[in-house]
Structure 1
Amino acid sequence: MGKMRVFDVSRNKLDSAIPPELFTSWAELTQLRAQNNSIAGSIPAAIGNATKLQYLRLAKNRLAGKLPVEVGRLASLQALELAENFLTGPIPNTVGNLTALVAMALFSNGFTGVIPPEIFNLTTALRIIDLSTNRLEGDFPAAIASLRNLYGLDLSNNRFSGTIPSDLGSRQFLTIVLANNSFLGEFPMAVCQQHSLQILDLSNNQLHGGIPGCLWDLQDLVFMDLSHNIFSGDLPASAHPNSSSLESVHLASNNLTGGYPVVLKGCRCLTVVDLGGNCFSGTIPSWIGTHNPLLRFLILRSNAFHGSIPRELSRLSHLQLLDLAANNLVGSIPTSFGDFASMIQPRNELNLRSKAQQRILDGHVDFMYIDRIGISWKRQYHTFEGTAALVAGIDLSGNHLSDEIPSELCNLESVRFLDLSRNHLSGIVPKEIGGLKMLESLDFSWNELSGSIPPSISDLMSLSSLNLSNNHLSGEIPSGYQLRTLADPSIYSNNFGLCGFPLNIVCSNGSNSTSALIGGDKDSQELEILSWFYSILAGLVFGFWLWFGVLLLFKPWRYAFFHQVDHLQKKIM
């Protein structure tokens, strides 16, 4: 055992502390693999004795306490992987002594303080730095320019501030993720020098100014998220309009202007486009339906787009989410929207592509990214992360759409939400509405709909959010079993012709329910029998008074009647 070189106990159910003797007894140890357990306690200071250690993999455990300064004695260490534990305190400066270090993965812990400047002395070997999801702070270290061989940098979900340096050092970046910090300044032009870049996430910072055209010329870029910043201006065109690899473009919640970005016309691999919450204007181009054939999520909400909705969007056979809410769109809803293939049959895969790979050390390293899809869901705004592929629906609310709701929309059996509220839609609620078998949220409020609520709405067994208020609907409210769970009367308010549960308005036939209930037909039969009984009784009473009333009122008839009775009695006697 004294010559133990590789000790691999990963993916077990170990829950005790790491024995210090492990590092003193096994002086020849080169690999310690104990990731994916429940190992508790702290990392012993004796780890400094394992000077031949090359791989230290303790990720996904329950380790706590500080990272001991003795780790700096591991001169042969190539992989330091302590992610997803409960480690706290500062990252020790002695990490700068690890001159052979290739990958540093300390993400999802509780490290505090600044990044030790000594880390940037590791100019030769270091390829990956992932310090995301900690409590680190301070300015972006300009010394990063010394790391000329860096492939991956992830500082997201920390408390960093200041500007992003104009020189990032390496020209080999595959991924740059700086999201959810407080970085200031303009777009870092050094990004445009990264011709191998696949993942760029600068979202949720305070960056301002324009988005440069050179960004769209990065032909290997797959994922771009610049959302929730203060970027402004129009999006420039690309110098290579037909060679983009972009699959996901997130530019939501900025101050971007101009028309729908023409630069996206050459992105034939696009699956996600989120431009919501900007100042885009003009019409929605029809070429989206032909030039972005793989599009699955199109989010243009809260802009200033006008004109009609192009029917060519229905050519997007993969589209599962269409969000055009809060614009100035007019005209009717295209009937061809009932042809969205991915809203008719649900997709099989659970999620979108979410990683890029690079071979480093003894295997492939996955650089992960998550597509975040923000939608208005059941009257609240939700962000779906990691489960975006399960989201399917249409939101056209807050526009100026008119005419009737196309019955063809009821072909979309796999949609989970349908929001057409706050428009000028007229006509009836489609009687085929019950065909939306997976529907969970339905909102037709604030329109000019009339007629009755179709009984088939009772077939929506997954419906948990409904709003039909502020229309001109009339008649009894259907009372299917699922509808009985929606007891808030406000979902039907300001429809002055409606009656029945959950409104405190009894319908004119004395029933608060419709034939949608099992007992509806039985109640109707009992009412018919009761009416027939009272009709016979009324006839008997009327006949009685017709004859005996005459005898009572006319004296000669009364004498004649009783004379005949006496005569008949004498014959019988």
Structure 2
Amino acid sequence: MHRVMSLVERFDMMEPKWVWILLAVLVIEGWYQTEGCLEHERVALFQLKSFFDDPSSLQDWVDVKGSHCCQWDGVKCSTTSGRVIQLSLNDTRQWKKDRYDVYLNASLFFPFKELKSLYLVGNRIAGFVDNEGIAKLSSELKKLEILDLSGNQLNDSILSSLSELSSLKSLLLASNHLTGSDHRNGFKWLSRLSNLETLDLSWNHLKNNILLHVGHLSSLKTLNLAENQLEGSVNIKELSRLRKLRNLDLHYNEIETFGSYSFEDSGRQVMMSLEELDLSGNLLLNSSFAFISRLSNLKSLSIADNKLQGCIDIKELNKLAKLKMLDLRYNQIESLRSFDDSNRLLKLMNLEQLDLSDNPLNNTRLGVLSGLSNLKSLSLGSSQLKGSINIKEFANLKKLKSVDLYRVFSDGTVSLLQVVKGFPSVKTFYLYNNYLNKTISTKELENVSTNVQEISVFNSHMSHNILESIGALTSLRQLTLSNSWLTGPLPSKGWCDLWNLEELDLSGNTIEGSIPSCFSNLISLRLLDISNNHIEVPSSFIPFANNSLLKYLLMDQIHLGLCKELPNFLYDQYDLRYLDLSDNNFGGQSPSWLLENNTRLQQIFMAGNSFKGPLQLPKHANVNIFEVDMSGNKMQGQVPMNICSTFPHLKSFSLSKNGFEGNIPSCFGGLKSLLWLDLSHNNFSGGIMEELTNSNSLETLRLSSNNLSGTIPPSVFSSTERLYLDGNNFHGEIPKIDISISFPFLSDMDLSNNHLSGKLPRWIWNASRLEALVLSNNLFDGHIPLELCNLNSLRFLDLSWNNLSGSVPSCISSLTIEHLHLSRNRLSGPLPRALHSSSSLVAFHMKRLNLGRLMKAATWETLFFVDLQNMKVAPKLVRPGYPQMPLAAKKKAIGWTWMPSMGLSGFVTELC
């Protein structure tokens, strides 16, 4: 604004012609603030869309002249020039089975002269078009600083081109096919990137020699080589030139040692500027600390999930004086101590986070931690400490604010208050999976901490008098005691003294009776979860009347007995955000008043009750609600046609298992945020209107078990991921889909129990993401297409109760099918022999088929159920001989077989 005012003042002093000349120069130079992006860049962006063609992405990239492309998804423009400076095109390439090797024309980015950041993650790019390689970007995009090509199909051949991008500061190539073995000069060429500060090569197939190659990138500050194939002895000295290196990530390799490391290399110290080092998930032993302890500037160190064991010498650790975070999880450490007894305490004065969880720690040696005067977070989880903690050992940890003690106390000799008193400065306790069932004594209530604000106990055994004693912790704001074996009635004293309590979770216990009147003291309560208990109604809810701050209320499955009405206290709530009243016995009309009173309500769950009558909506739209579940009630009538305008931002909506009838409102297709629509198990009639399937966001459409009829529109198959139309009256053929225009993303599809006919369309077998396909109990005929072989992800296939003929495709043996149902068809011929060695089959249903031979079943290792009832098989199935063990006994993995009415004689000796 100051700059604009100074220009205005200058304009007053200039002649008119010079004013116009200056304005023209400013526009040409791009200083002048534009209202939209430049037209040639808008056109160039739309040309990009032909390559980045995922229909669920870049939906607002439209070829309309004058449209403001700076507001398009993934586009960021300069606030002064209006030029595109960032493109985020992650996961925008449509995935197809036959499009693994995708080559990108880099010249498509040439128009974006001001581009600084380009993100192309997860687009299966294998390289760049010949003569239009990415190397040419260096001459066109001279300001490009960040290039992210992670999650593609690139190999070492791309490196020579990347080395031309001299302006790069950040290069990310994670999750590609880099090996470092072919095109060896490629990594050497990367040394040309003299400005490169961040290099991510994680999740590739790189070997130890990669350290030599990247050791020439002298400007590097961050290097990520995690999840590669570095192994054995690694020569860390190769990184001696990286004087600026601050962050090194080597996690999840197979590094055992750092070789004959020397910290002096031609007068240069190795990685002495390093501040963050991640070595987790390797094979390092205790001796590795001899190397690590020399990295005196380290602030963050993780050696989790290695081979550390026994005693760790704190003399080496104490050399890391600047360390703020130390992660030693998932090892076999028993204690930390000084081997020469020169120092008995761990003196890392700057250490703020320490994680020793999942180690077999000896609690008698925990005193070594008492010197960590700046420690804020401590995790000792899953260490199986026995007995009480010595309070004096932690008296000096005055800055400790959070402790994680999951699965630590196993013998029931410690109470919750003992633990709290052991850490007097701590505000947050995590105490999952413990035995804290020692009865709390009156003495333990004395001098208890007033600092604790959050206690989370889950799946633990608690003392029966914990609620009577917890009131001593007057500073508590969050209390979780879920699944903690609390039984009987709630006490009328103690816990009701928690005036500051904001969140209370007592779910998953067997609490019974009424909530005491003193509950009204909890006037600060914002979240209450009493689900899965035996609370009485309505008297128990009288104390809720004063809780006007409640925002999140969960009282599902509280076993209300004969109560039919919603608790009266709900009439006094006006600021609820989350309400769960599921699986109770509430009745009456659908409570539209709840929605009218609570205009900020976002999620409401009232499934499994007895609400009846029509669905009543609030008088005014609720723009905050995004999830509604009213399934499993007794409501009926038609769904109001204004439901979409009432809830315009729905993401999940379920009215299943009611008695609704009439047509399904087509307006659901216009809800831009709708992900889940479940109207199953009702009496809806009519067909599926095209408007319903126009949604670009809908992932799950469940219309099972209604009275829908007519033909199925083609758009329904290409607009959803999970489609359930079973149990209706649809007829005709499954429509054809041009997958070159609209590729289906189906993962689950159930069209069973309809009247569909014709041949199985071949496009289904090109929906390569399919995991479950159920077409049973229809009128399909013809052969099972060979394209079945394309379904590499298929786990469940049910084609039973149709009129299919021919043989079973031999490729079925190579698939990962776990449940195969082919019963009640007219299939014939031998089953594929390779199917006998299937390692994935769990259930195998083949009733009433006319197959020539069966396979040997003795190699089925996972099969649990076999149904061969009324099958006609070749005589080779049996032969006379001595009695043999029945089929079920041949393999323990086979849990049940059903083979009656096969007309067999003799004894089963093998299935040929």
**Is residue 209–residue 230 contact of structure 1 (8 Å, CA) maintained in 2?**
yes
SS of structure 2 residue aligned to 1:176: strand
Paired AA for residue 299 in structure 1: D
Distance change in 2, residues 1:261/1:279 (3 Å): same
1:283 is aligned to 2:663:
yes
1:182 is aligned to 2:559:
yes
**Is residue 210–residue 231 contact of structure 1 (8 Å, CA) maintained in 2?**
yes
The equivalent position to 2:479 in structure 1, one of 98, 104, 114, is: 104
Distance 1:220 1:153 in 2: 17
Q: What is aligned with 1:38?
A: 407
Between 1:1-10 and 1:38-47, the stretch displaced more is 1-10
Between 1:198-207 and 1:482-491, the stretch displaced more is 482-491
**Is residue 810–residue 832 contact of structure 2 (8 Å, CA) maintained in 1?**
no
Distance change in 2, residues 1:48/1:16 (3 Å): closer
SS of structure 2 residue aligned to 1:9: strand
Q: What is aligned with 1:224?
A: 604
1:313 deviates by: 4.0
Distance 2:814 2:371 in 1: 68
SS of structure 1 residue aligned to 2:625: coil
Q: What is aligned with 1:64?
A: 436
Q: Which residues of 2 match residues 372-521 of structure 1 at below 5 A?
A: 392-399=747-754, 406-423=761-778, 432-447=787-802, 449-452=803-806, 455=809, 458=812, 461-471=815-825, 473-476=826-829, 479=832, 481=834, 485=838, 491-494=845-848, 500-501=853-854, 504-506=871-873
Structure with the larger RCO, 1 or 2 (CA within 8 Å, 6+ apart): 1
Q: What is aligned with 1:339?
A: 718
1:24 deviates by: 10
1:203 is aligned to 2:578:
no
The equivalent position to 2:617 in structure 1, one of 222, 226, 237, is: 237
Q: What is aligned with 1:19?
A: 388
1:499 deviates by: 5.1
Note the alpha carbon deviations across 1:435-454, whole angstroms, 9 max, x for none.
4432211223334x444366
Distance 1:152 1:139 in 2: 19
1:317 deviates by: 3.2
Q: Which residues of 2 match residues 250-329 of structure 1 at below 5 A?
A: 250-260=629-639, 262=641, 264-266=643-645, 267-291=647-671, 293-329=672-708
Distance 2:835 2:571 in 1: 54
Paired AA for residue 10 in structure 1: S
Distance change in 2, residues 1:484/1:21 (3 Å): closer
Distance 2:567 2:470 in 1: 28
TM-score with structure 1 length normalisation? 0.68
Q: What is aligned with 1:134?
A: 509
**Is residue 402–residue 428 contact of structure 2 (8 Å, CA) maintained in 1?**
yes
Q: What is aligned with 1:330?
A: 709
SS of structure 2 residue aligned to 1:338: helix
Distance 2:497 2:577 in 1: 24
Distance 2:515 2:807 in 1: 59
Distance 2:848 2:697 in 1: 38
**Is residue 759–residue 780 contact of structure 2 (8 Å, CA) maintained in 1?**
yes
1:83 is aligned to 2:457:
yes
Distance 1:192 1:427 in 2: 61
Q: What is aligned with 1:357?
A: none
**Is residue 529–residue 553 contact of structure 2 (8 Å, CA) maintained in 1?**
yes
SS of structure 2 residue aligned to 1:118: coil
Paired AA for residue 385 in structure 2: S
Distance 2:845 2:613 in 1: 41
In the alignment, structure 1 segments of 5+ residues that lack a partner are 345-372, 377-389, 512-573
SS of structure 1 residue aligned to 2:845: helix
1:93 is aligned to 2:468:
yes
1:176 deviates by: 0.6
Distance 1:210 1:460 in 2: 55
1:307 deviates by: 1.9
1:213 deviates by: 0.9
**Is residue 700–residue 721 contact of structure 2 (8 Å, CA) maintained in 1?**
no
Distance change in 2, residues 1:49/1:271 (3 Å): closer
SS of structure 1 residue aligned to 2:404: coil
Distance 1:438 1:232 in 2: 42
**Is residue 474–residue 500 contact of structure 2 (8 Å, CA) maintained in 1?**
yes
Q: Which of the two has higher C-alpha Rg?
A: 1
1:155 is aligned to 2:524:
no
1:165 is aligned to 2:541:
yes
Distance change in 2, residues 1:75/1:441 (3 Å): same
The equivalent position to 1:114 in structure 2, one of 483, 489, 500, is: 489
**Is residue 99–residue 122 contact of structure 1 (8 Å, CA) maintained in 2?**
yes
Distance 1:32 1:342 in 2: 45
1:10 is aligned to 2:376:
no
Q: What is aligned with 2:127?
A: none
Note the alpha carbon deviations across 1:257-292, whole angstroms, 9 max, x for none.
12235464133433323322222222222222212x
1:83 deviates by: 0.6
Distance 2:848 2:653 in 1: 37
**Is residue 53–residue 77 contact of structure 1 (8 Å, CA) maintained in 2?**
yes
Distance change in 2, residues 1:37/1:278 (3 Å): same
**Is residue 717–residue 746 contact of structure 2 (8 Å, CA) maintained in 1?**
no
Distance 1:239 1:500 in 2: 67
Q: Please, what is the CA RMSD of the aligned residues? A: 4.2
**Is residue 819–residue 844 contact of structure 2 (8 Å, CA) maintained in 1?**
no
**Is residue 632–residue 656 contact of structure 2 (8 Å, CA) maintained in 1?**
yes
**Is residue 56–residue 79 contact of structure 1 (8 Å, CA) maintained in 2?**
yes
Paired AA for residue 639 in structure 2: Y
Paired AA for residue 464 in structure 1: E
Paired AA for residue 403 in structure 2: A
1:72 deviates by: 4.5
Paired AA for residue 43 in structure 1: V
1:153 deviates by: 0.2
Q: What is aligned with 1:545?
A: none
Paired AA for residue 278 in structure 1: N
The equivalent position to 1:125 in structure 2, one of 476, 492, 500, is: 500
Distance 2:425 2:441 in 1: 16
1:133 deviates by: 1.9
Distance 2:601 2:475 in 1: 30
Distance 1:39 1:391 in 2: 45
**Is residue 813–residue 832 contact of structure 2 (8 Å, CA) maintained in 1?**
no
Between 1:2-11 and 1:424-433, the stretch displaced more is 2-11
Paired AA for residue 436 in structure 2: A
Paired AA for residue 227 in structure 1: A
TM-score with structure 2 length normalisation? 0.45
In the alignment, structure 2 segments of 5+ residues that lack a partner are 1-369, 728-744, 856-867, 878-912
Note the alpha carbon deviations across 1:344-366, whole angstroms, 9 max, x for none.
9xxxxxxxxxxxxxxxxxxxxxx
1:322 deviates by: 2.9
Q: Which residues of 2 match residues 347-386 of structure 1 at below 5 A?
A: none
Distance 2:558 2:441 in 1: 28
Distance 1:31 1:147 in 2: 28
Note the alpha carbon deviations across 1:109-142, whole angstroms, 9 max, x for none.
1122222222574374221111112222223445
Distance change in 2, residues 1:467/1:274 (3 Å): farther
Paired AA for residue 57 in structure 1: F
